[in-house]
Amino acid sequence: LAKTTQPISMDSYEGQEVNITCSHNNIATNDYITWYQQFPSQGPRFIIQGYKTKVTNEVASLFIPADRKSSTLSLPRVSLSDTAVYYCLVGEFTGGGNKLTFGTGTQLKVEL
Amino acid sequence: DAGVIQSPRHEVTEMGQEVTLRCKPISGHDYLFWYRQTMMRGLELLIYFNNNVPIDDSGMPEDRFSAKMPNASFSTLKIQPSEPRDSAVYFCASRSSGDKQFFGPGTRLTVL
């Protein structure tokens, strides 16, 4: 299983862009990179998923370099409501392999 | 769609008692996952099913834990006998092939 490493915590202010980087040195060819967000007392919620280069949706962007050994989740103009734990996961989604490992996550705190 | 449904939301029991957690996945999803979350260990995958068949139960901590999925719309996670160290939040998640996981609200288990 590909192990991920993320910063334990990050602080930011409202309106700023936040970039959270995840290292996954032993990512496999079939592995995708997925980010989840978790608020207190709730289950994790899918944010974004990618395989290579850049992916963007209405919530965030995901940057993946060519070697795919790391990825960066970018949250534009964060607000207080973005305060949460963010998890980076690496795993494959083919029929045979479906196991994802949640790391410790990054606790993002957004202040005024 | 109501999303993934878990019951009970909270369970308090005494050491040695049997505990049964229940999950109803999103209709049409053919993968179901059971996770456990604690402060010390984070979010751990316990077991997952594909088309009601257990695929990987390597995360199940010991024989006291068992999981079943008798049909596509119902799964249980049973702990017998329960111990204080089993206290955690247990999440169920489901997804369809190649798609993101949807998590339930979780069951907070306290074993006294």
Residue in A46, A94, A104 nearest the CB of B100:
A46
- The model's pLDDT over A31-86, given as tens digits with 9 standing for 90+, comes to 889 999 999 989 999 999 999 999 999 999 999 999 999 999 999 999 999 999 99
Q: How many angstroms away from the CA of B80 is the closest CA of chain A? A: 25
Q: Does A39 touch chain B (CB under 8 A)?
A: no
Distances in whole angstroms, Cα of residue A103 to Cα of each of A3, A29, B4: 8, 20, 23
Which runs of E-coded beta strand occur in chain A? Answer: 9-13, 18-23, 31-38, 45-50, 53-56, 61-64, 70-75, 84-92, 106-111
pLDDT of residue B93: 94
- The model's pLDDT over B44-81, given as tens digits with 9 standing for 90+, comes to 889 999 999 999 898 898 899 999 999 999 999 999 99
Distances in whole angstroms, Cα of residue B109 to Cα of each of A76, A77, B69, B78, B79: 36, 37, 20, 12, 11
Q: Does A40 touch chain B (CB under 8 A)?
A: no
Residues in chain A: 112
- Nearest residue on chain B to A42, alpha-carbon basis: B105
Judged against a pLDDT cut of 50, whether residue A97 lies above it is answered with: no
Q: What percent of chain B has pLDDT over 70?
A: 97
Task: Tally Cβ neighbours within 10 Å of residue A69.
Answer: 14
